[in-house]
Amino acid sequence: MNDMKKLCNSINCCLLSSDSPIDEWQMGEIIQMFRVKSHLTQGELARRANVSSQTIKRIEGGNVRVSDITCRGIFEALGVNISLLTELLDEEPERRMRE
């Protein structure tokens, strides 16, 4: 589960950089962004991730804390390569600093 913690930290570093218009992103908003880009309904994502659609709704609404296991299942259901995403997010702040 260490890679999920690293992913969360990388997302925060990338999205909360000083030139970002986003003040704060919650994991639910990130999951919703991936879900919408994947053209999935909450129900479809829930089936793929083996969780209830109510769980997806609560996560996206920021009404529940997401465990690493649930989060991993959701990202895998979305087809997100956690290691690659973490690597890309870690590179983004470095790229911005060079520009």
Domain count, the chain: 1
Q: Does residue 15 lie in a domain region?
A: no
pLDDT digits (tens, 9 = 90+) for 24-71: 457 788 889 899 999 999 999 999 999 999 999 998 988 777 777 888
Q: Does residue 65 lie in a domain region?
A: yes
Domain hosting residue 89, numbered range? 2-8+25-98
Q: Does residue 14 lie in a domain region?
A: no
Please state, rounded to an integer, the average pLDDT across all residues of the chain. Answer: 76
Q: Does residue 19 lie in a domain region?
A: no
Joined together, the tokens standing for residue 40 give 């999935």
Say which CATH number the domain at 87 has: 1.10.260.40
pLDDT level of residue 20 (50, 70, 90 thresholds): very low
Angle in degrees, CA 78, 18, 14, rounded to 5: 25
